[in-house]
Structures are given as structure tokens and as C-alpha cells.
């Protein structure tokens, strides 16, 4: 553990038998190198001691601003990045340190939906090939059977089999995102990581895709790791929400409770900052001051203290640990500390 990071406890609810994903004390540092010899001069602490669990059929929302590390968490879980340390247990298998062949078999059980589906598609591929590609890559289907499966998947996401021979540019942003979801579902995954999957869509289309994700979850029993910056969207789709700030989860709990009654000053700032959260001029916003410091040089003590409206002496020196702040809820703030309430691992 680095000296400034709090001893990271498993955030949120207690472990359960039906956990699909369990992330414990995950750390990812990116070295900043300089000079010909590539001397490491600093580390960007993109993810610095993150723990969470996702049950089967459950949605965990991760919110945070740019640089909070939420997308890095997604890439670590999907093994697109190697962790610096920590554990990732998926369906009972420890993924860190797993051999490539073994990992490949597990990998088709977890898929990702990106913000910009067009960037993930080869513009010269027909939709049948776009959706069929993961089937062929994992040797699940080929030729006619891959095409048949692609057609089924298109219908599952609300498009039609006749779209199979079209090309990506013939679709609107909302339709393209449906295709992105169909492609992610091709290998029948249990976990879908949605990284800002609805953020670029117009609101009328965003609602369509959110409804689709909820229907698919119900029908297929999917678990979602839903990463977004829009708190209202995250609350709507998530069972639980984790709030990230500079590489750490600062608060975690059931979505409704967490947003109706945020406990950490950062979550309170986020909730207050939602434009139109109240009638104009009716409230004093709890505003985080200034801007987030660089994750390569996070402040000592509590990482939020430089922006916190409630910071006091201790916040500058000592990093607060994640503690239970109610049934099934944790937050890391000295102001919320009461003796004997430290969250159990």
C-alpha cells in the first residue's frame, strides 16, 4: 500500500454466493518515463485500490469525472490492461496471472459496449460480419450458422434480419449502438461492460437504448458494469453505484439511497451539480472548488481535500478509509467517522 492511500476495504455489500465479479484492491499505475533510457519519473495512479462486487443479474454503476479511473477499471476487468496488483475474480476464477489460453475461454463470457460504436466497426464489413466476427474468433459458429445467429441477435436488439447485408454507415447513431450491443451479445456473455454506452446519443435515442439494456438484462440475466458520467442515467439503470474520484471509490451503495442522500462531500457536489436538479436560484449549490488534480500527483491525505467545501486539518494529512455509513453503504470521509464502524473486508 502506498503511504497516502487508505487501506482499501471491499466496498459495499458483503460477499455473496452469486457474485459474478469480485474485484479486490485493484491498482493500476502507468509509469511516466523521460529521456532515452526511459527512466520512470512518476506514476499516474489511474486506479489506486478499488474493490467492488457485482452479483448475477445485477448492475453496478461507476460514476466519476475525467481522470477518475473508471474506464481503466473497465479495461482491467476485461483484461485489456494488466493490473499493477489486486485481484479480479470472475465466476469463481482468479483472472490475474491466468494463462492466455485459459483466459480466452473466460473472455467470451464478458464483453464491452463502447461509447462510439462506429469506431469499433470496420466500415468495410457488412453487419453480418461485424456481429459474426466474435463468433468466428471464439470458434462458436461459422458460415451459415454465424449468419443465422447474427440475424437472431439483430432481432433481439430491435433491428431486423434484412439489415444483415447493410454497412455501418447506413445506420443512425442509435441503431449503430444497437448493433454494438448485438455484437457484444454474440458470445452469450454473462457480464456486459458498458463504457459511456449511451453518452453520445441524443436524449430521445438514449432512452431507447437504456430500455433495451434493461430488457436484455431481464431476458438474459446479464450483469452490467455500467460506466457513465451522467448521474441520473446511472441511477436509473443501476442497482448499486460506486463513485470514483482520482482512482478510488469514495462512496458506494444502493443507487436510489446514494443519490437521494449522498454522504461523501464529492458525491454531494456531483448530485448538486446536476444541472436543473432544482428550480433555478432555489438552493445554494454544494460546489466542489476548482478542478481535479492530476492523478500523477494526487494530493496527500484525502484526495478530495483540495476541492472539498468541508475540508479540515486532518483531511490534509490522513487518508480516510472506506467505512460503513449505513446499512449496505460505505464512504470514505473523516466527517462521517464514528467509532467501530470501519467496513469489514
Instruction: Give contact residues for other proteins (rule: CB under 8 A).
Output: 65-66, 172, 174-175, 202-208, 210-211, 214-215, 229, 231-233, 235-236, 255-256, 259-260, 269-270, 272-277, 279-280, 285, 287-288, 290-292, 307
The counts of H helices and E strands in the chain are 11, 12
Name which of 123 and 290 has its Cβ closer to other proteins. 290
Name which of 26 and 231 has its Cβ closer to other proteins. 231
Shortest gap between Cβ of 338 and other proteins (angstroms)?
27
Name which of 150 and 243 has its Cβ closer to other proteins. 243
Distances (CA, A) of 217 to 57, 189, 238, 298: 7, 11, 11, 37
Shortest gap between Cβ of 237 and other proteins (angstroms)?
8
Shortest gap between Cβ of 293 and other proteins (angstroms)?
11
Shortest gap between Cβ of 331 and other proteins (angstroms)?
17
Name which of 13 and 307 has its Cβ closer to other proteins. 307
Query: What order do you get walking across the sheet with 39-55 strand by strand?
Result: 39-55, 19-34, 85-90, 93-94
Shortest gap between Cβ of 128 and other proteins (angstroms)?
22
Name which of 25 and 251 has its Cβ closer to other proteins. 251
| Distance separating alpha carbons of residues 193 and 172, to the nearest angstrom | 22
Write phi, then psi, for 251 (nearest 5 degrees).
-155, 145
Set of cell numbers at residue 271: 448530485
Shortest gap between Cβ of 286 and other proteins (angstroms)?
10
| 8 A C-beta contact, residue 155 and residue 103 | no
Name which of 235 and 314 has its Cβ closer to other proteins. 235
Set of cell numbers at residue 104: 480466452
Shortest gap between Cβ of 172 and other proteins (angstroms)?
5
| Distance separating alpha carbons of residues 252 and 267, to the nearest angstrom | 10
| Distance separating alpha carbons of residues 118 and 196, to the nearest angstrom | 14
Name which of 137 and 274 has its Cβ closer to other proteins. 274
Shortest gap between Cβ of 304 and other proteins (angstroms)?
11
CB neighbour list of residue 306: distance below 8 Å, 6 or more residues apart: 289, 290, 293, 299
Helix or strand (DSSP H, E) at 73: helix 70-77
Name which of 1 and 260 has its Cβ closer to other proteins. 260
| 8 A C-beta contact, residue 52 and residue 63 | no
**Please, what's the b/e burial string for 251-280 (b: 16 or more CB within 10 A of its CB; e: otherwise)?**
bbbbbebbbeebbbbbbbbbbbeeeeeeee
Name which of 155 and 291 has its Cβ closer to other proteins. 291
CB neighbour list of residue 260: distance below 8 Å, 6 or more residues apart: none
Set of cell numbers at residue 81: 490492461
Shortest gap between Cβ of 344 and other proteins (angstroms)?
29
Amino acid at each position: 500500500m502506498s503511504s497516502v492511500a487508505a487501506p482499501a476495504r471491499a466496498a459495499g455489500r458483503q460477499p455473496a454466493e452469486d457474485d459474478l465479479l469480485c474485484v479486490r484492491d485493484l491498482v493500476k499505475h502507468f509509469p511516466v518515463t523521460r529521456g532515452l533510457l526511459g527512466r520512470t519519473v512518476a506514476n499516474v495512479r489511474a486506479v489506486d485500490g478499488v474493490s467492488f462486487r457485482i452479483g448475477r443479474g445485477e448492475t453496478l454503476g461507476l460514476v466519476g469525472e475525467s481522470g477518475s479511473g473508471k474506464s481503466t477499471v473497465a479495461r482491467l476487468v476485461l483484461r485489456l490492461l494488466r493490473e499493477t496488483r489486486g485481484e479480479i475474480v470472475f465466476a469463481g476464477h482468479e483472472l490475474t496471472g491466468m494463462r492466455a489460453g485459459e483466459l480466452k475461454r473466460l473472455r467470451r463470457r464478458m464483453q464491452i459496449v463502447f461509447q462510439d460504436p462506429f469506431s469499433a466497426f470496420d466500415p468495410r464489413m457488412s453487419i453480418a460480419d461485424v456481429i459474426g466476427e466474435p463468433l468466428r474468433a471464439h470458434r462458436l459458429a461459422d458460415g451459415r450458422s454465424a449468419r443465422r445467429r447474427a440475424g437472431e441477435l439483430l432481432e433481439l436488439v430491435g433491428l431486423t434480419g434484412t439489415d444483415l447485408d447493410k454497412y455501418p454507415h447506413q445506420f443512425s447513431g442509435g441503431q449503430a449502438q444497437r448493433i454494438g450491443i448485438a455484437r457484444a451479445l454474440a458470445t452469450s456473455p454473462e457480464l456486459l461492460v458498458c463504457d459511456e454506452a449511451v453518452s453520445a446519443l441524443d436524449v430521445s435515442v438514449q432512452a431507447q437504448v437504456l430500455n433495451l439494456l434493461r430488457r436484455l438484462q431481464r431476458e438474459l440475466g446479464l450483469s452490467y458494469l455500467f460506466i457513465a458520467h451522467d448521474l441520473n442515467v446511472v441511477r436509473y439503470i443501476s442497482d448499486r453505484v460506486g463513485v470514483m474520484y482520482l482512482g478510488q471509490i469514495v462512496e458506494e451503495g444502493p443507487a436510489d439511497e446514494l443519490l437521494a442522500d449522498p454522504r461523501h462531500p464529492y458525491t454531494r457536489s456531483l448530485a448538486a451539480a446536476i444541472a436543473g436538479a432544482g428550480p433555478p436560484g432555489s438552493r445554494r449549490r454544494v460546489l466542489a472548488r476548482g478542478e481535479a488534480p492530476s492523478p500523477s500527483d494526487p494530493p496527500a491525505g484525502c484526495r478530495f481535500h483540495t476541492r472539498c467545501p468541508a475540508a479540515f486539518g486532518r483531511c490534509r494529512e490522513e487518508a480516510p478509509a472506506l467505512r460503513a455509513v449505513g446499512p449496505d453503504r460505505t464512504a470514505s470521509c473523516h466527517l462521517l467517522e464514528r467509532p467501530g464502524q470501519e467496513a469489514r473486508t
